[in-house]
Copies of this chain bind each other. A is one copy, B any other.
């Protein structure tokens, strides 16, 4: 029996990642073999050097404007555009209340959730907390509350220690090895890479092709053979 595994690299403080999650879910709902699909959310920090809470006194539009060398008004237009795109995928982005900051600890919390089989729910909860509720992903008290609300065990102990720090860093070094520099990035069956918040149609097509590429026939294992510096498979 076939099983299709996906690795999806993603940050929480990543608009296209949340949009991409919805589009992927739409694709999955139309995929006949969705019950044989497993997903692992992999950590990716867009800004590993961000402070826990960033720029308390500056509006998101002003910070974005400074970053891109645009006026605050132009940056606000970019924000409004992203908000509308997200709205079309059923998401309520509230950039007026967004609280940016370092997401490393949030990713550790996601790894804890994954270890308890709650990876997908935790990912969704943190996305909504960040983009709609204006909760600060860099604030440990916030993360504690969210983890507790999810019903996870060992939340406080995890966040107070450096548990899962290695897991986050391994996801990030794996991304670097794969040459992933933008998220979301989908890897299907360790074979197909799909970059970005593609439409549900494109993602469904990728699921179908990845499924076709799987085989119950060991003789077909020669598919995907490569030669590398250490020899050929």
Which A residues form the contact surface with B (CB < 8 A)? 11, 14-17, 19, 46-47, 67-68, 82, 85, 176-185, 191-199, 201-202, 205-206, 208-209, 212-213, 220, 222-229, 231-233
Contacts and interface: CB of A to CB of B under 8 A. Distances in A.
Question: Number of copies of this chain in the oligomer?
Answer: 2
Contacts of A193: 192-193
Contacts of A14: 227, 232
B228 A181 contact: yes
State the main secondary structure of chain A at its contact with B.
mixed
Contacts of A183: 226-228
Contacts of A16: 225-227, 232-233
A100 to B, nearest CB: 12
Contacts of A199: 220, 223
Contacts of A17: 227
Contacts of A178: 179
Given A11-B227, A202-B213, A194 B196 contact: no
Contacts of A198: 213, 223-224
A68 B223 CA distance: 22
B213 A226 contact: no
A179 B182 contact: no
Contacts of A47: 229
Given A183-B228, A201-B212, A202-B224, 18 more contacts: A14-B227, A14-B232, A16-B233, A19-B225, A82-B232, A85-B222, A176-B179, A177-B179, A179-B179, A179-B180, A181-B229, A182-B226, A192-B194, A193-B193, A196-B224, A197-B223, A197-B224, A199-B220
Given A177-B179, A202-B209, A213-B198, A46 B229 contact: yes
Contacts of A226: 16, 182-185, 195-197
